[in-house]
Structure 1
Amino acid sequence: MAQPLFDHPRLPDWERRLNAWLLEPGREKFEYGVQDCALFGCGAVMAMTGVHPAPQFVGAYDDAASAAEALRELGKGTLLKTFDQYFKRKKPAFAHRGDLVMAHKAIGVCMGANGVFLAEEIGLARLPRSAFVAAWKV
């Protein structure tokens, strides 16, 4: 198995940084290529590590069709495979606070008993750990 492309440690105050990032005004607004579910996950990683894991995706698309095209051209074809390229996969049952998770084909951040996700239709949403289908170590 190939080494993940992103391998930066969390900053000592990562929990404070993650909480502050989640509470920033406008965090609940979904916009393709600016703040969608994938870039929401990347933003959480940047808050915790100080490094954006995939800056080439920012602004590279502006709707669902161009997002799919960006995943094919800049990633591994799907959201799941692209996140596998950047981060080390782990079993969802072992996701810790701050790890990235997937549920209902969306990327979110594990907050312990649940995950926070950014959904196009409703903005920020919490889903229970039982909904996680994949997880990645940050």
Structure 2
Amino acid sequence: MQRLPDWEARLAAYLEPLRARPFEWGRHDCCAFTFGAVEAMTGVDAMAEYRGRYRTARGSVRALRRIGAGTLEASVDAKFARIGAGLAQRGDIVMSSGLLGICLGRFLVAVGSEGAREGLVRIDRARWVDPIAWRVPFAG
């Protein structure tokens, strides 16, 4: 799995319609959003085995235990190379306080809420808590 030559345009096109989409387990949660972004950039659905397999928080935990490596962190480790969070670049996967999202330079973009608004939120790099990052590989 590698980023396609036009990955930045693909990522931007993926993000735009999701800006105000509310959270929904299994369809628009942090995992589904993040791996949808990875699919947009690479053309590979790294979450295929999870799609349609959970609709609740409890169901997501069960799916990670049954299909994945037990936890979200371990399941991402099984698919992507971990990097130092300080090295995360635009398009890499980042977890902060257990929330998974995509690095957009100075920000982590993830599904969440700000006040009454639901949809994509930006978390400034300086506010990342116990961050973990994984590289989404570039071609050659």
- Which TM-score applies when normalising by structure 1? 0.89
Aligned residue for 2:45, secondary structure, equals coil
Where do 1:76-91 residues align within 5 Å? Answer: 76-91=69-84
Aligned residues: 131
Where do 1:45-124 residues align within 5 Å? Answer: 45-119=38-112, 122-124=118-120
Aligned residue for 2:89, secondary structure, equals coil
Deviation >3 Å, runs of 4+ = none
Q: Give the structure 2 partner of residue 135 of structure 1.
A: 133
1:16 aligns with 2:9: yes
- Alpha-carbon distance between aligned partners in 1 of 2:52 and 2:27, rounded to the nearest angstrom: 6
- Alpha-carbon distance between aligned partners in 2 of 1:70 and 1:61, rounded to the nearest angstrom: 7
- Alpha-carbon distance between aligned partners in 1 of 2:113 and 2:60, rounded to the nearest angstrom: 13
Aligned residue for 1:57, secondary structure, equals coil
Say if 1:87 and 1:25 are closer, same or farther in 2 by CA, change over 3 A.
Answer: closer
Q: CA RMSD in A?
A: 1.6
Could you tell me which runs of 5 or more consecutive residues in structure 1 were left unpaired when the two chains were aligned: 1-7
Could you tell me which runs of 5 or more consecutive residues in structure 2 were left unpaired when the two chains were aligned: none
Q: Percent identity?
A: 42
Amino acid across the alignment from 1:135:
A
1:38-65 Cα deviation digits (max 9, x unpaired):
1111000000001101201111001000
